[in-house]
Amino acid sequence: MRKIYFIFIFLTVVSVFGSLSATKMQPKIIFSIDLQKEIGSTTWIYIQKGFVQADSLQADLIIIHINTYGGEVLYADSIRTKILNSKIPVYAFVDNNAASAGALIAIACDKIFMRPGSSIGAATVVNQNAERMPDKYQSYMRATMRATAESHGKDTIINGKDTTYQWKRNPLIAEAMVDDRTVIPNIIDSGKTLTFTALEAVKFGYCDGLAENLEEVIDKQLKISDYELITYKPTIWDDLKGFLMNGAFQSVLIMLIIGGIYFELQAPGIGFPLAVSITAAVLYFAPLYMDGLAANWEILMFVIGLLLLGLELFVIPGFGVAGISGIVLVMGGLVLSLINNVDFNFEAVKTGAISAALLTVTAGMVLSFGLIIYISSKIGSKGLFKKMALETTLNKNEGYIGVSMVGVEMVGKTGIAATVLRPSGKVRIDDVTYDAISEQDFIEKGTEVKVVRYETGQIYVERALSIEK
């Protein structure tokens, strides 16, 4: 019995050590995602798909390789949220630049490593022309940067009997990267937006170490010798989908949808403008539908809106309920397709997403009206649109007439006033009665008259006696 007992213990110990040895021998999986372009719809797709792939591989660590001057705040905030909610630790390696939206993403990561000579900061919100946006946008960005820094918590510092708590990343420093009014003694003066060099970032807790490349981050900073580095490789579809979901391009598609429909209504039959409109609609809704943003009922809302507009234009006189309802449904379909709502539940919709969607659709509408005005002014002149207008001159000497020309042959003929001409009335010439207008004063019934001219389908007469005199 004792022998069996010792055998059991021996097998258990061997099993435990074997398991530990196998665990020790298994290399760590480190997953890398490159964000080395403007932050926008494309990089957001990289992050979403990259995190899914890292999770499927059971990665031990995700490193985001950052080199960007910034981008769209909405997508940067989505990436930030994804990082903060990740169950897998996420580190950032700043390779040269982490400006604006890039700084927000880096600060969201659990650790930040930087290449010597790189920089991080300058997160002031600007427009497409690099002009500072109003303070309400800066306020939102200040709060977002502060909250992101605060999310990493505080360090407990024990000095003898004294215990103090210090932020791992000072939220005030994050705010100073946005607001040039923020003053931090010995760090930044008022009137300057904060940007750290790599060495400054290390000094003030916004960088956990310096490295020349990813391998150096892993080997020297993280002290991991046995690992497998896997980098997310975007597909052509990722880049195409990101391009199609770009806010500026979506505005252009809306412009083509509206403009194409307008110009198609200006001519009979089905032609090129309708083809452009349908193609733009497919390019607008297809990536949104595949991404789960555009639901069937939202696309149907857009189609019904177009049908109501067509009904208002071709069937119902004037402009009323059908036309207004059509405009509301078209805009509603376009806007709702851009946001992450579930039917009429908007709890999952991020702050600012509705405003961004409205801005995209409104910009597209404004562009479409501009396109309509521009092309309308060019039709019939030189260039591409010349063939869209009829330029042939219909000369009357070639037989092109718009009204009956029988009256022309009557000029010089005489007849009798069949009624009193005051000055209009009727005359009888060659036993045929015609409407006529007197070129003089009233002409009494029975007076002999003579046709002096014929214009715009009208006979003009005078007294024959006065003409002879």
Could you tell me the domains of the chain? 25-234 (3.90.226.10), 245-388 (no CATH), 396-468 (2.40.50.140)
Closest by CA to 335, choosing from 360, 313, 310, is 360
Q: Which single residue is written with the structure tokens 């189609």?
A: 303
- For 373-413, the DSSP string reads HHHHHHTTSSSGGGGGS------GGGT--SS--GGGGGTT-
Instruction: Give the model's pLDDT for residue 62.
Output: 96
Q: Which residues are within 8 A (CB) of 211 and not within 5 positions of it... i.e. 6 or more apart?
A: 93, 113, 114, 115, 217, 220, 221
Q: Which residues are within 8 A (CB) of 164 and not within 5 positions of it... i.e. 6 or more apart?
A: 156, 157
Q: Which residues are within 8 A (CB) of 48 and not within 5 positions of it... i.e. 6 or more apart?
A: 82
Distance CA 264, CA 349 (A): 36
Mean pLDDT value across the chain: 81
Distance CA 248, CA 238 (A): 17
Question: Are the C-beta atoms of residues 260 and 274 closer than 8 Å to each other?
Answer: yes
Q: Please state the pTM of the whole predicted model.
A: 0.65
Q: What is the pLDDT along the chain (469 residues), one digit of tens a residue?
A: 555 555 555 556 555 555 544 445 688 999 999 999 999 889 999 999 999 999 999 999 999 999 999 988 888 998 999 999 999 999 999 999 999 999 999 999 999 999 999 999 998 888 776 778 888 888 889 999 999 999 999 888 777 777 788 899 999 999 999 988 888 988 888 778 899 999 999 999 999 999 999 999 999 999 999 999 999 999 888 888 888 877 778 888 888 888 877 777 666 556 677 788 888 888 888 877 777 677 788 888 888 888 887 777 666 665 677 778 887 888 888 888 777 777 777 776 666 677 777 777 787 777 777 766 766 666 555 544 555 555 566 565 655 555 566 667 788 888 999 998 888 889 998 888 888 888 877 888 888 999 988 887 788 999 887 655 4
- Amino acid 36 reads Q
- H or E element: which one contains 67? strand 61-68
